[in-house]
Chains A and B, each alone.
Chain A
């Protein structure tokens, strides 16, 4: 993960991976001749890639469940969603900034829109921006990725419109800093020590800068709510922030905050899939114990 931590995001992450060749499969190693033979065989086998049938089954299973629960929720089925402490604390954090007359700082991660965590972060940003609009609290959204910057501007603008406060919105709320991970970190820590925001939201995809931002924010006494699915960075957020959204909690945050039935329904569908995954693991383990590796083999990816 070291490259991802340092060079990856600095050079634009996924786009670089896209440029590099994908991780090789056995077929690649076997060489071209095999490939053509197999291609001929596949032509007779039809339209679908036989290597990915297991993924297709999972995909269809997952989509069906999520979509079914979305439509059930829309028809008015009541859904229970457990409390997520980090998200309930958002009100408290923005409230404190309002009381103290200080700003709310929201760096939406350092990755582009090609990363789902960024999309998830923007959903939370929409909620936070509506609150700052409602209470007339200053909001500051510094950006590292230019596309995220463009989208964050739309998100915040729409939040201020929705709250009926277009007068409070201006383009300076969301601004661009630089494309380098650590130059961005230097600027954001600069904002933290100079302007002493009362609440810092570190939600999205963060890499090595996570600890720098979180520790610096901690030293200025801000309430900090962090959230990421970058496993390597979670320990630092957990140590230095008041609340941390871990992995899946980040992705669910937008739905949780929106309280829209459709969004909550998707979370229910996701939960059922998770249960199915657990049951599958247990069943496959028992079968393996009885001497059949069949269910385990089904999970093999080419």
Chain B
């Protein structure tokens, strides 16, 4: 059973890799299967990890204490009214509640969890106590943050001093993007190593092993 599974997995792996050469029926097969299997996978996950523990179990064990969970169930079901021609705009209510809630959550989260701490860590001591290099670093940090912020000014024309500063902001952005790109290459290469290693050690060597045992 295990070796069969490894063969299936390896076949599908090769199907996907074949796309690098060009689009072909094997890739299309794997792509379609992947779309189906993954959707099925999340149906299973949602049923077992969300609907069951968060809705069914609480209702089953203590209906009186959890009857209100029927409200979100109703809001959820309301999404399907789109298929009823006469009521096809009811679904808006569900979307409105969902979006409204998270828009509110995000608003305070962004202001409190991002703006304040990022501001605070930009306020750094401009003294020589950390050595000349420390001072330079702190200056770079402040200059970088402020010039990038200027770049994002929409209601000012980017001319003159503003234009110059925003240009510096773009340079900071490009430097950051370049560094981040180079930095990420490493993690991505290890993913490929992982896949090729699977093909070589699990599939090729595993099959040779199994054949050896058979003989």
Contacts and interface: CB of A to CB of B under 8 A. Distances in A.
A282 B124 CA distance: 10
B39 A178 contact: yes
Interface in A82-129: 82, 84, 113-116, 119
A231 B183 CA distance: 13
B52 interface: no
Given A119-B103, A180-B41, A300 B35 contact: no
A116 B103 contact: yes
27 contacts: A54-B116, A55-B111, A55-B112, A58-B112, A58-B115, A82-B156, A113-B99, A114-B105, A147-B98, A150-B79, A150-B82, A150-B91, A150-B95, A151-B95, A180-B39, A183-B35, A186-B30, A190-B23, A193-B23, A231-B180, A232-B180, A267-B154, A267-B155, A271-B153, A271-B156, A278-B146, A296-B120
B159 to A, nearest CB: 10
Interface string A174-205: 00011110111011011001100000000000
A30 interface: no
A234 B175 CA distance: 12
B98 A113 contact: yes
Interface string B92-135: 10010011001101111011110111011011111100000000
A284 interface: yes
Nearest to A81: B154
A236 B122 CA distance: 26
Task: State which size class the interface on A falls in.
Answer: 35 or more
A277 B23 CA distance: 50
Given A178-B38, A249-B152, A234 B177 contact: yes
B123 A271 contact: no
* Interface hub of A179, A184, A256 (most chain B Cβ within 10 A): A179
A235 B178 contact: yes
B102 A281 contact: no
Given A150-B91, A235-B180, A252-B154, A62 B146 contact: no
Given A182-B38, A281-B142, 11 more contacts: A59-B111, A150-B91, A178-B38, A179-B38, A190-B31, A246-B173, A274-B153, A281-B119, A281-B123, A289-B126, A301-B113
Contact of B16 (A2, A14, A186): A186
Contact of B122 (A14, A154, A267, A281): A281
B119 to A, nearest CB: 5
A147 B95 contact: yes
Contacts of A218: none
Contacts of B38: 178-180, 182-183
Nearest to A23: B113
A299 interface: yes
Contacts of A249: 152
Contacts of A256: 154
Given A59-B108, A79-B155, A190-B28, A299 B41 contact: no
Given A55-B111, A183-B35, A284 B152 contact: no
Interface string B179-205: 011001001000000000000000000
Contacts of B117: 299, 301
A52 B112 contact: yes
Contacts of B98: 113-114, 147
Nearest to A176: B39
A80 interface: yes
B90 to A, nearest CB: 12
A239 B45 CA distance: 36
B158 interface: yes
Interface string A281-300: 11011001100000110011
Contacts of A115: 102, 106
A295 B23 contact: no
Contacts of B116: 54-55, 58, 299, 301
